[in-house]
Amino acid sequence: MSIQGILTIILYSLQPWWWFIAILLLALVAAQLFHRRNQGPRSSAVGWVSLVIAGAAMLMAPAITHSKLSYLNIWPDWLGLILVGLGVFVYCFLVLSPIWRQPAD
């Protein structure tokens, strides 16, 4: 299979989700741009809140894909679920980190 064929399949599988990806990207850019002046200390709750949201996303991911947690039998399934949680954690941390900083004096 050629690279062009692989990219075509990936783009068609992402097509129903473009609006959601655009909203997430817009939220990330807005958080970084509008709160870039906040250079004070970061709240310690950012990591914990991001971890809780990532855990909730890991539990909801099988339901979103019309699957169940009991169907995760082999290590690639578990690895995919862990990577979903890691991605959500990093995204939440990047969005919440500038918002919860104290303004610089």
E strand or H helix at 84, and its extent? Answer: helix 75-99
Separation of alpha carbons 62 and 69, rounded Å: 6
What number is the average pLDDT over the span 47-56?
95
Instruction: With cut-offs at 50, 70 and 90, classify the pLDDT of residue 105.
Output: low
Angle between helices 45-64 and 75-99 (to 10 degrees): 140
Question: Structural domain boundaries of the chain?
Answer: 23-99
Higher per-residue confidence, 73 vs 88: 88
* DSSP classification of residue 74: S
Instruction: With cut-offs at 50, 70 and 90, classify the pLDDT of residue 57.
Output: very high
* Per-residue pLDDT at 87 exceeds 70: yes
* Per-residue pLDDT at 74 exceeds 70: yes
What number is the average pLDDT over the span 55-69?
90
Question: Hey, what amino acid is at 100?
Answer: W
* Per-residue pLDDT at 76 exceeds 80: yes
Separation of alpha carbons 35 and 51, rounded Å: 22
What number is the average pLDDT over the span 7-25?
92
